[in-house]
């Protein structure tokens, strides 16, 4: 994945995450100024999994987004298509059943999960519609979808400061802490190119999901979109 290219060829995306896997969690903590921990707790609450339910955490990476579920006694399946991320995840949490899977062609039967969640993954898939369709297929009727993704700060002045941080401050910091600084330039550019809250909600509805809504976190830097599969 190069600076000039925001084309999301699945092989390039997987290779980029293979490359950053070793330092992924450290870099995340530094660049989000620790906010990522709050976002993960919010995802857990939004999914609201009951004991005995099974949740697919797709694009789970090193499993950091799956851990709150596992630690809360929920059956969580962390799945990702970057073998490098899965390897680091397995070293960190050998108790989690890491699974190789592409969000656009999931290796799971219809209606196998009570909920599907995806944190900071949807922005990277080549076809958002294909992924949303696959999530709908593998979740049970009445099951939930929770997407946690970077979004648009709602306050204009805050949005300006944040855009400065994203485009000017983040790349030099990433250069110091990451093994692949180019990937953090891609991060900044892909966030800028990503649709806002309302537009993403419309895309989720168009894919067949009902009761679509969202909640902003950290002033809209991140949005949690929630939806239900029609019964």
Ligand X SMILES: C[S@@+](CC[C@H](N)C(=O)[O-])C[C@H]1O[C@@H](n2cnc3c(N)ncnc32)[C@H](O)[C@@H]1O
Min separation Cβ 176 and ligand X, Å:
19
Query: Can you tell me the distance from the alpha carbon of 178 to that of 83, in angstroms, rounded to the nearest whole number?
Result: 19
- Write out the DSSP string of 19-67: HHGGGHHHHHHHHTTTHHHHHHHHHHHHH-PPTT-EEEEET-TTTTTTH
Q: Does the annotation place 206 within a ligand binding site?
A: no
Q: How far is the CB of 38 from ligand X (least distance, A)?
A: 13
Q: Cα(first)–Cα(last) distance of the chain, in Å?
A: 40
| Measured distance CA(56)–CA(106) in Å, rounded | 11
Is 95 known as a binding-site position? no
Window of 12-20, 166-174, 201-209, 220-228 that interacts with ligand X by CB under 6 A: 12-20
Nearer to ligand X, 191 or 201 (CB): 191
- Taking CB under 6 A as the criterion, the residue among 22, 96, 124, 229 binding ligand X is 124
Q: Which residues pair with 226 in a beta bridge?
A: 146, 213
The answer to whether residue 13 forms part of the interface with ligand X (CB under 6 A) is: yes
Q: Which of 31, 42, 46, 60 binds ligand X (CB under 6 A)?
A: 60
Largest CA distance in the chain: 49
- Distance in angstroms (rounded) separating the CA atoms of residues 159 and 214: 18
Scanning 53-61, 157-165, 168-176, 198-206 for contacts with ligand X by CB under 6 A, the matching segment is 53-61
Q: Give the total of residues touching ligand X (CB under 6 A).
A: 21
62 is in an annotated binding site: yes
Query: Which residues carry a binding-site annotation?
Result: 62, 80, 102-103, 119
């Amino acid at each position: 994945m190069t600076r000039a290219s925001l084309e999301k060829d699945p092989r390039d995306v997987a290779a980029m995450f293979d490359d950053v896997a070793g330092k992924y969690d450290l870099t995340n903590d530094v660049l989000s100024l620790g906010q990522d921990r709050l976002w993960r707790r919010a995802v857990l609450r939004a999914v609201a999994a009951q004991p005995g339910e099974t949740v697919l955490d797709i694009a789970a990476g090193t499993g950091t987004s799956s851990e709150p579920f596992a630690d809360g006694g929920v059956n969580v399946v962390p799945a990702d298509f970057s073998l490098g991320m899965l390897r680091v995840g397995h070293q960190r949490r050998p108790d989690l059943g890491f699974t190789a899977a592409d969000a656009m062609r999931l290796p799971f039967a219809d209606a196998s999960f009570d909920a599907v969640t995806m944190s900071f993954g949807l922005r990277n898939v080549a076809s958002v519609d294909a992924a949303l369709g696959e999530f709908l297929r593998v979740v049970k009727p009445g099951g939930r979808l929770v997407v946690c993704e970077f979004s648009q700060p709602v306050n204009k002045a805050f949005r300006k400061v944040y855009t400065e941080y994203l485009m000017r401050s983040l790349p030099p910091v990433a250069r110091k802490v990451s093994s692949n600084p180019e990937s953090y330039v891609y991060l900044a550019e892909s966030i800028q190119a990503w649709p806002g809250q309302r537009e993403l909600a419309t895309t989720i509805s168009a894919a067949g999901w009902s009761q679509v809504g969202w909640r902003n976190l950290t002033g809209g830097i991140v949005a949690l979109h929630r939806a239900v599969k029609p019964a």
